[in-house]
Amino acid sequence: MVLPSFKHVETSAFNVSSMTGVLVLITILCQIIYKLYATPLRKIPGSKSFATTKWRLAYEDYKGVRTQTIHALHQSYGTAVRVGPNEVSFSSLSALKTIYGAGSGFERTDFYRMFDVFGRQNLFTFAEVKKHAERKKLLAHAYSKSVILSSQAIAKPLIEKNVKSYLDLLDREKGVAEEIFQSLHWFSLDTITGFLYGDKLEYSGTNALTGNEKHRELLGDIIDPSRRKLSWFVVHLRAYTKWLYSRSGFTEKLFQSLGLFPMRKPTTYTGIRAHALMSTNRFDISVLFRQPSGPALSLIQKLWESTNAGETRLLGSPDMASEMADHCLAGIDTTSDTLMFAIWALSRCQNKAYQQRLIEEVTSIPETECNEDGIPTVEAADKLPYLGAIIKETLRLYAPLPASEPRSLPVDTMIDGYTIPARTVVSMSPYTLHRNEDVFPHPLIFKPERWLGECGDLTEMKKWFWAFSSGGRMCIGLHLAMAEMTTLLAAIYRDYTTSEYEKQKGVSPGITSRFEVFYDETLPQMEEHECWINFEKRR
């Protein structure tokens, strides 16, 4: 028997290695060829670098410019753009109706699973239309406009009380309140927790506006800018991120010292999620000893009553906690960021005429339409047309969630004449829709009169306005958010005029949204999570 020489074995191993490398290369080339020339998506315009690999768009995500990049691609290629091997962005009204219209059948993608809480899905993360509809049915009535404006429900007195607390903060700690990014977060936190749990401390309502430091600290991990980097890792390196944050002891300390964690613990939403779990547990304990009596006011009580049939709970405590945490998180940044941009825009020198017009409108509210504290009622603020126009223009230009909303369909379909294979990710963004020059002349300029029919086709603009999404997934909390914003702005400008601090002039405030920061791109500078406004009392 003749044994193979070492050289022969080495040569054979080299040949096997070479063959493997060739096969891998051929496989990669075949995939590239398919992505570029064989898939039905090849007919959709776009850059070949984006069509070849998902990491091209992931790189734009990492830089924090995904939405602006896709917007620029639309300007170059048209209303349908391929932004990934399996992802297409649209920017037409017909696509909007096809993808997001009621009964479209399109589902949310796995992207939204990053918002699961305690391993449980909630209204925001359900992909399937049926599951989402079943959960929404339990919650929708509490958010209806008639309930939000009702004196017998919780929202109206709660909002008016918190508006008074915000004005008191301006009187008591003017220097603190004038950094409005922070103080408006306190306002939205106190309002949403009061709406969810009731505004009593024992039921886990918060008192950030009145100085409770523990409650103010709940926002620490939300306003930390490093959350953008963590979001990128969660979306693009999900398994690795999950493994990384499960480390403990020496390994955790080692990785921390090496700077491997995208965001130091506690990570985004930790405080709010812990608060939701504590609040839900408190509620569960309270109902063990006495059944809730009288009309259900807080959302948690409404949800508990609507999911109890005899002794059967349709939703367990983890599901309730997940739902409460999700609603809390959804109600903080969105409302506070919009209020911040509205006040900032009105305070800029070039927009003084808009502020004066608003002051004239809110000071015309009769005393009979104000409460005992002199605060305009929620109903009175809701009826002010110019105030409504200011908020709508703020949402158009500075939407708190301006990025794309991904969807997919389990079967092949057609969108704007293009064949879209099953499970292709399709999306649209308010950012691009709201910057259509044909619909919104001079789209980067703040012009509230657009929404009063004084500039452009109002009917057409309404069709393109998408700050709250549309269809079955339309923002469930829009009436609560609008009530908060209109009432607070009416109260502020009834008593104050506002202007920018000297250091704020020429500097846009910036907000965090997923893995991006958004701001007024017409200005040369931006300061993330900071905005200084001078409040001068008139009376």
Residue 531 labelled as part of a binding site? no
Q: For residues 511 and 337, is the Cβ–Cβ distance under 8 A?
A: yes
Q: How many domains does the chain have?
A: 1
Position 386 in a domain: yes
More confident residue, 284 or 497: 497
Q: Which domain holds residue 530?
A: 133-224+268-537
DSSP class of 476: T
Q: What is the rounded average pLDDT for all residues in the chain?
A: 90
Percent of the chain with pLDDT over 90: 74
| Helix, coil or strand: residue 531 | coil
Confidence of residue 319 (pLDDT cuts 50, 70, 90): confident
Position 259 in a domain: no
Lowest mean pLDDT among 289-298, 337-346, 475-484, 515-524: 289-298
Percent of the chain with pLDDT over 70: 89
Q: What is the CA radius of gyration of the chain?
A: 26
Position 278 in a domain: yes
d(CA 50, CA 367): 59
What is the pLDDT at residue 36?
66
Confidence of residue 312 (pLDDT cuts 50, 70, 90): very low
What is the pLDDT at residue 205?
87
pLDDT tens digits for range 32-46:
675 666 799 999 999
d(CA 247, CA 234): 16
* Average of per-residue pLDDT across 412-439: 97
| pLDDT of residue 223 exceeding 70 | yes
Q: How far is CA 350 from CA 496, 500, 505, in A?
A: 18, 11, 11
Position 289 in a domain: yes
Position 173 in a domain: yes
The bridge status of strand 507-513 relative to strand 525-528 is parallel
Of 361, 371, 331, whose CA–CA distance to 156 is shortest?
A: 371
Position 468 in a domain: yes
Where b means 16+ CB within 10 Å and e means fewer, 502-538 reads eebeebbbbbbbbbbbbbbeeeeeeebbbbbbebeee
Lowest mean pLDDT among 60-69, 211-220, 313-322: 313-322
Q: For residues 206 and 219, is the Cβ–Cβ distance under 8 A?
A: no
Of 116, 163, 142, whose CA–CA distance to 375 is shortest?
A: 163
* Average of per-residue pLDDT across 159-178: 96
| pLDDT of residue 10 exceeding 70 | no
Confidence of residue 327 (pLDDT cuts 50, 70, 90): very high
Position 105 in a domain: no
Position 167 in a domain: yes
What is the pLDDT at residue 25?
67
**CATH number of the domain enclosing 176:** 1.10.630.10
* Average of per-residue pLDDT across 383-410: 97
Q: How far is CA 48 from CA 86, 180, 265, in A?
A: 13, 44, 39
Residue 93: is it exposed, middle or buried by C-beta count within 10 angstroms (0-12/13-18/19+)?
Answer: middle
- Cα pseudo-dihedral 278, 280, 283, 285, rounded to 10: -70
